[in-house]
Amino acid sequence: GFRKNLYLQRSDTSRKDEFTGRLKINWVVNDKTEFDFLLLNVDLNDPSDIWTIDGSLNTLSDKPGMDSQDTNAFGLKIFHLAEGFDFQSLTSSTHSDIVFSYDADWGNPISNAPYVYDFFSETLRSRRSFNQEFRVLSDPANFSNGIRGEWVAGIYYLDLSETNTKQDDGIYEDPFSGYDPYIVNSSSSSHYDSRNLAVFSHFEYLISESTRITLGLRWEDWESNYIDSYGESFSPSNQMYGGKFSILRDWNEYTNVYANIGRGYKSGGFNLGLGLQTNSSKENLIYDPEYLWNYEVGFSVRHPSSSLNLDTVLFYSDRENQQVLISTQVDPNDPNTFTFLNQNAAEGVNYGIEINLSASLTDDLYFFSALGVLRTKIINYESRPELEGRAQAHAPKRTYALGLNWKPRENIYFSIETTGKSSFYYSDSHANQSKPYVLTNLVLGYKKEQFTYEVWVRNLFNEYFSVRGFYFGNEPPDFLPTLYERQGDPRHMGLLMRYDF
């Protein structure tokens, strides 16, 4: 990993030990039927030791945690060509066993002295899912043959279940307070299951050879059940619908323009555990679906003689019942009770522009770039009026990327890319912001026949930047709310070797 544990004198407490294996089989039964089969195993054994009081890359924890996952999955795709339409079946299933644990006080007996402050949490999670989707597709539209319309219709089903077993242990003792130690030793378990059923359709019609309109609709029913050993139980359900209407026109041989109106949704849910049901209102526990109306206009240019590619889009979004993430700590003496609550703000607004430009400068040199300008706002938030008019969390005003691909020889290539991001609010529950940062990445590669070799460097100039920020108390004896930042990865490099057969 990139962090050193100064207390344990180890540099492997945040290492990565990951394996991914895939087996894909394609079976062409005949000229009308085809099967694609996938087997997947993902085995992640990653110790978790990333949080520090001072925001540095040197940790002090005495009980590093674990972030491991063992997932087995399979997928099956069936494609069948019938008379006048195509049929597709998409099936998948996953089973994951997950361990998530952490040293909640981020310290050790020496760093916390003279106070005894020692907390640890471990969650064992088992998660299963089954997906099934059926699609029926018409033959493609062809204006010259008099076929002006094409369509897709389908049905989607998801069955998900998750079981959690959690153990929280800890002790806090202030030798100057005169009170007995505060001791926590709690075990809890929970079970969650949900079902999603959706029907959808997509229709495209050619008004002329250069102009087409598109209409898409989706309706979804979501039902869930939750129960835990605290006695909390919820069974929320939502019925949601969305859709999209767009018009696209080929302006000339190289350029098209388009406009879209769409309505998307995100299902509601509930906030879990930690005794919140006894000291919080129902409105803080259950949140409603969020809906988003999105409006876009844009154009694309593809000029083959200069290899010029330009994509530009202007967008404006209205968020209804906007879901925001609020942090809270139920017990100031217990860091394991720090959690996040989803809540609904009345509404929010997003708008901006995205531009992607790429071109061949010479036969051997290729340029690419991207720019995003974003403005967001939370409005009409009755329970948190201080947030009204403020930008939404993790929504930087500017993002950009610039890069070059160079191929000096037939088998040798070189790439350099610079990405940047302006400051952004860490959370919708406090006003702390990140600092802007710029990162540079390099790749040097060699390819011959079936072999590929690459040497890569990420964060070339070893920039120190933060990606997350939390605001709560985790330092005895006063436990004053403090900003704790998680740093991004410093400069690192690696070697890739690939053989294609």
Query: CB under 8 Å to 469, separation ≥6 — which residues?
Result: 426, 427, 432, 433, 434, 483, 484, 485, 486
What would you report as the CA-atom Rg of the chain, rounded to the nearest whole angstrom? 27
Q: Pairing mode, if any, of strands 290-303 and 308-320?
A: antiparallel
* SS3 at position 282: helix
Half-sphere exposure of 153 (CA within 13 A, CB side): 2
Global pTM exceeds 0.95? no
Per-residue pLDDT of the chain (501 residues; tens, 9 = 90+): 688 999 999 999 999 899 999 999 999 999 999 999 999 999 999 999 999 999 899 999 999 999 999 999 999 999 999 988 999 999 999 999 999 999 999 999 999 999 999 999 999 999 999 999 999 999 998 888 888 999 999 999 999 999 999 999 999 999 999 899 999 999 999 999 999 999 999 999 999 999 999 999 999 999 999 998 988 888 889 999 999 999 999 998 899 999 999 999 999 887 765 444 444 455 567 888 999 999 999 999 998 777 899 999 999 999 998 888 777 777 777 888 777 788 887 788 999 999 999 999 998 999 999 999 999 998 877 777 888 889 999 999 999 999 999 999 999 999 999 999 999 999 888 889 999 999 999 999 999 989 999 999 999 999 999 999 999 889 999 999 999 999 999 999 999 999 987
- Please give the Cα distance from 473 to 229 (Å, whole number): 27
Cα-flanking dihedrals φ and ψ of residue 376, to 5°? -135, 160
Tokens of 409: 């020889």
- Please give the Cα distance from 203 to 213 (Å, whole number): 8
